[in-house]
Chain A
Amino acid sequence: MGLLRQLVMTVWQIYKMIRRAGDKRVAYRQVLRFTVRWLFPVRQVGQRFFFSLTSVTFHVAIIVVPVFLASHIALWESGIGLSWPAIGNGLADVLTVIAVGTAFLLVLQRAVATDSRALSRFQDYALPLLIAVPFVSGFLAMHPTWNPFPYDLTLFAHVASGDLLLILLPVTKLSHMVLLPVTQLVSELAWHFPPDAGRKVGAVLGRGEQPI
């Protein structure tokens, strides 16, 4: 719900930006090109190769597994009657291992590289690790013979960490999962100035008539 609220608010802000803009002609085609480029950033891996490759792989794994896992789809079907094709459990296992591995690699790479370390906040380190928790617990729940913990505890950890992530989605950088399709448009529209913004700001601050 929080994510939906953010998306609705951002779309509303986009509408207001267009309405206020002095020049309403927007290069929508170019915006779309940039948006698609970053929604499917396969060709962008060349720069910062290892970090980018890890990041892209991580994203693919953490999107595909929860959405297309057969047992998750079964839950959706029993809950609201919707279902869709699932991936095989073998593939899901491989992707889960990749998700966990790349989550740790992301944190490691962030900590090792001087530039990303200089930028990083607590959430930048904590979120990949937190995202790994439901994958590890889900993997153990699917493979009871390898699981040293009781099944109920494992499943509790799986659901609780998943819920915690859902709570954190709208209040952390994870919100990019809904905002990414509109950010390029927002950036573009910010350059579409309202016709008299400067004059109004000058008037509010009492500086409009002052000598330069």
Chain B
Amino acid sequence: MLTREKYSYYVEPAALEVTDRPRKFLAAFAAVLAHSNYGAALDTYCRLSAKCARCAASCQLYEASLESRDIPCRRSELLFRIYRRYFTQSGVIRARLFGGFTLTDQYLDEMADEYYRCTACRRCKITCPVGIDHGLVTHLARWLLAEIDVVPKALLVSVREQLEGVGNTSAIPVPALKDTCEFLEEEFQDLYDVQIKFPFDVDGAEYVFFPAVSDYLLEADTLMGNAAVMHVTGASWTIGTGNYDGINYGLFYSDRMMERIVSNVVAEVRRLKAHKVLVGECGHATRSAWFIPAFCGSDAPQVVNCMEYAHQMLEAGRLPLKGNRIEGRVTYHDPCNVARSGRIIEQPREILKAICDDFVEMTPNRTQNYCCGGGGGTVSIDEIRSFRTGLMGKRKAEQIRATGAQIVVSPCANCKKQLREVCEDNGLEDVEVLGLHDLLLKVIDLGVTEPAQNGAQHVTEPEPEMQRNPGG
């Protein structure tokens, strides 16, 4: 059976069984409202949505497509309409008296397409005068669609592999992981003449490392940069063979899955009697990990992103640099999942300014940045590449072109894949897309090593404000 016959992305056959879908969708909606915090938000949004269209002016998709269906407020209205009709008293009474809107299969199909045209980058939330978070609405709508089995196949099979298969989204078995790390250790020896270990299953380590597992396949330099930083700062860290994947596609389509994946991360940290989660260069993995206290309690392990760690080490004067600088113009792309809330903004910039000759900003930047165009998991959906790099990526390509940069630094596995494709498809083949730690690897003085401190506290606790606000 052709699985791409209805939507722009591939789905599994279950998504095409249209029996009783509206009833199942409403049952899922009722269950989610009963057990989550989304109801109050929907209630408020439905009452005061002003339809001012300011969000249209901030959406990179609408700016490129100029199709009314791509206005964030119109997309959110698709879900508001169902909520008003079926879950508010006035909607139920109005329907009894005057009839009107009824949820149909066709309507669900429209939602299935629309909510995967949004990357949930949440840029429009900043410009909404009444504070409607359209990214939250997309997040919720996707979960509800997932409960009637409408999920892009690319996301579904990854989560299946992670929770029911090999244990990670790229299906990398432990022996292959160890082989890769041994190869990287040899690279350190051959290229830098230094012995740097990727430590496995160290009981009582301070940090357990959770990169996007795809880094083990695609981003050797990023991983070597991570290992180099941990090595020169004498950190006590480890990779757990029970779980070594920071990716959490639950964030993109189902809170039910997100909860399970987050719990598995915490279980691995506890198995190793370790203390903290160290997330690699990955935006959504970091944001998912920030939800750890929500799902696992306030005594759950603290979460540190590798950029926060490297920055703290730099600030403390514990990151020895060779003194050489990165040549050529470098710019920085803020991954939405770490930057929109303002949590990781200045740290990578300060590192880049310390190591680059010519660092320039994109405009706009920081919390106002444009999404790479592949956010919300859409980067994994290869069959919509022309959409991602075309309509969705056009703005980003213009931004990069305007900087004149030869290197775009993006500390996120998803953004990196998307930006490389954006550059390829938009005549920016000469631009190199790299991670922050790829550059750090080139400038760190690997000859200086601090003695390992056996699980002792290496970094000062992040500021209290940094620890808050998982969603916002």
Residues of A within 8 A of B (CB): 6, 10, 13-14, 16-17, 20-27, 29-31, 34-35, 38, 41, 44, 47-48, 51-52, 55, 113-116, 118-121, 124, 171, 173, 175-176, 179-180, 182-184, 186-202, 204-205, 207-208, 211-212
Option from A44, A118, A194, A195 in Cβ contact (under 8 Å) with B297: A195
- Which residues of the other chain, A, contact B41 by a CB distance below 8 angstroms? 186-187, 189-190
Establish whether residues B58 and A47, one from each chain, have CB atoms under 8 Å apart when the complex forms: yes
When chains A and B are docked, how far (Å) is the Cα of A194 from the Cα of B255?
A: 10
Establish whether residues A173 and B47, one from each chain, have CB atoms under 8 Å apart when the complex forms: yes
The answer to the question of B189 belonging to the interface, with a C-beta cut-off of 8 Å to chain A, is no
Say how far A42's CB is from chain B's closest CB, in angstroms. Answer: 12
The interface stretch among B257-265, B277-285, B447-455 is B257-265
Establish whether residues B164 and A211, one from each chain, have CB atoms under 8 Å apart when the complex forms: yes
Which 4 pairs of residues, A with B, have the shortest CB-CB distance? A191-B471, A27-B469, A118-B68, A198-B256
B70-116 contacts to A, CB under 8 A, are 71, 73-74, 77, 90
Closest to A20 in B: B37
The answer to the question of B468 belonging to the interface, with a C-beta cut-off of 8 Å to chain A, is yes
Establish whether residues A180 and B130, one from each chain, have CB atoms under 8 Å apart when the complex forms: yes
Option from A6, A14, A124, A187 in Cβ contact (under 8 Å) with B133: A187
- Which residues of the other chain, A, contact B217 by a CB distance below 8 angstroms? none
Establish whether residues B471 and A188, one from each chain, have CB atoms under 8 Å apart when the complex forms: yes
Establish whether residues A195 and B51, one from each chain, have CB atoms under 8 Å apart when the complex forms: no
Interface string of B264-299 (1 = CB under 8 A from A): 000000000000000000000000000101111110
When chains A and B are docked, how far (Å) is the Cα of A16 from the Cα of B36?
A: 10
Option from B47, B131, B136, B295 in Cβ contact (under 8 Å) with A175: B47
Given contacts A34-B131, A190-B136, A212-B160, contact A48 B468 (CB under 8 A): no
- Which residues of the other chain, A, contact B48 by a CB distance below 8 angstroms? 173, 175-176, 179-180, 183
B3-36 contacts to A, CB under 8 A, are 27-28, 31-32, 34-36
Establish whether residues A118 and B71, one from each chain, have CB atoms under 8 Å apart when the complex forms: yes
The answer to the question of B53 belonging to the interface, with a C-beta cut-off of 8 Å to chain A, is yes
Establish whether residues B294 and A193, one from each chain, have CB atoms under 8 Å apart when the complex forms: yes
Establish whether residues A55 and B52, one from each chain, have CB atoms under 8 Å apart when the complex forms: yes
When chains A and B are docked, how far (Å) is the Cα of A47 from the Cα of B47?
A: 24
Given contacts A48-B54, A114-B68, contact A27 B131 (CB under 8 A): no
- Which residues of the other chain, A, contact B129 by a CB distance below 8 angstroms? 38, 41, 44
When chains A and B are docked, how far (Å) is the Cα of A111 from the Cα of B459?
A: 57
6 contacts between A and B (CB under 8 A): A23-B294, A38-B129, A47-B57, A183-B131, A205-B27, A205-B31
Establish whether residues B36 and A187, one from each chain, have CB atoms under 8 Å apart when the complex forms: no
Say how far B424's CB is from chain A's closest CB, in angstroms. Answer: 31
- Which residues of the other chain, A, contact B127 by a CB distance below 8 angstroms? 44, 47
When chains A and B are docked, how far (Å) is the Cα of A173 from the Cα of B469?
A: 28
Establish whether residues B50 and A176, one from each chain, have CB atoms under 8 Å apart when the complex forms: yes
- Which residues of the other chain, B, contact A47 by a CB distance below 8 angstroms? 54, 57-58, 127
Establish whether residues B40 and A186, one from each chain, have CB atoms under 8 Å apart when the complex forms: yes
When chains A and B are docked, how far (Å) is the Cα of A179 from the Cα of B44?
A: 8
The answer to the question of B62 belonging to the interface, with a C-beta cut-off of 8 Å to chain A, is yes
Closest to A17 in B: B37
When chains A and B are docked, how far (Å) is the Cα of A47 from the Cα of B254?
A: 34
When chains A and B are docked, how far (Å) is the Cα of A17 from the Cα of B294?
A: 12
The answer to the question of B467 belonging to the interface, with a C-beta cut-off of 8 Å to chain A, is yes
By CB atoms of chain A within 10 A, which of B62, B127, B465, B468 has the most?
B468
The answer to the question of B402 belonging to the interface, with a C-beta cut-off of 8 Å to chain A, is no
Establish whether residues A51 and B260, one from each chain, have CB atoms under 8 Å apart when the complex forms: no
Closest to A39 in B: B129
Establish whether residues A190 and B38, one from each chain, have CB atoms under 8 Å apart when the complex forms: yes
Establish whether residues A23 and B470, one from each chain, have CB atoms under 8 Å apart when the complex forms: yes
Say how far B267's CB is from chain A's closest CB, in angstroms. Answer: 15
When chains A and B are docked, how far (Å) is the Cα of A180 from the Cα of B297?
A: 31
Option from A6, A113, A188 in Cβ contact (under 8 Å) with B47: A6
Say how far A89's CB is from chain B's closest CB, in angstroms. Answer: 31
When chains A and B are docked, how far (Å) is the Cα of A41 from the Cα of B52?
A: 14
Option from B28, B66, B259, B260 in Cβ contact (under 8 Å) with A197: B259
Establish whether residues A183 and B130, one from each chain, have CB atoms under 8 Å apart when the complex forms: yes
Establish whether residues A194 and B147, one from each chain, have CB atoms under 8 Å apart when the complex forms: no
When chains A and B are docked, how far (Å) is the Cα of A194 from the Cα of B35?
A: 8
Say how far B20's CB is from chain A's closest CB, in angstroms. Answer: 13
The answer to the question of B320 belonging to the interface, with a C-beta cut-off of 8 Å to chain A, is no
Establish whether residues A204 and B131, one from each chain, have CB atoms under 8 Å apart when the complex forms: no
Establish whether residues B35 and A48, one from each chain, have CB atoms under 8 Å apart when the complex forms: no
Given contacts A116-B51, A179-B44, contact A188 B297 (CB under 8 A): no
- Which residues of the other chain, A, contact B62 by a CB distance below 8 angstroms? 115
When chains A and B are docked, how far (Å) is the Cα of A124 from the Cα of B132?
A: 17
Establish whether residues B469 and A198, one from each chain, have CB atoms under 8 Å apart when the complex forms: no
- Which residues of the other chain, A, contact B295 by a CB distance below 8 angstroms? 22, 193, 195-196
Establish whether residues A119 and B36, one from each chain, have CB atoms under 8 Å apart when the complex forms: no
Closest to B33 in A: A201
Establish whether residues A13 and B43, one from each chain, have CB atoms under 8 Å apart when the complex forms: yes
- Which residues of the other chain, A, contact B52 by a CB distance below 8 angstroms? 51, 55, 116
The answer to the question of B172 belonging to the interface, with a C-beta cut-off of 8 Å to chain A, is no
* Known interface pairs A22-B296, A198-B256; 14 further A-B residue pairs with C-beta atoms within 8 A, sorted by A's residue number: A34-B131, A118-B71, A119-B77, A124-B51, A179-B130, A180-B48, A190-B471, A193-B259, A193-B291, A194-B35, A197-B32, A201-B28, A201-B32, A212-B163
- Which residues of the other chain, A, contact B57 by a CB distance below 8 angstroms? 47-48, 115
The answer to the question of B125 belonging to the interface, with a C-beta cut-off of 8 Å to chain A, is yes
- Which residues of the other chain, A, contact B159 by a CB distance below 8 angstroms? 212
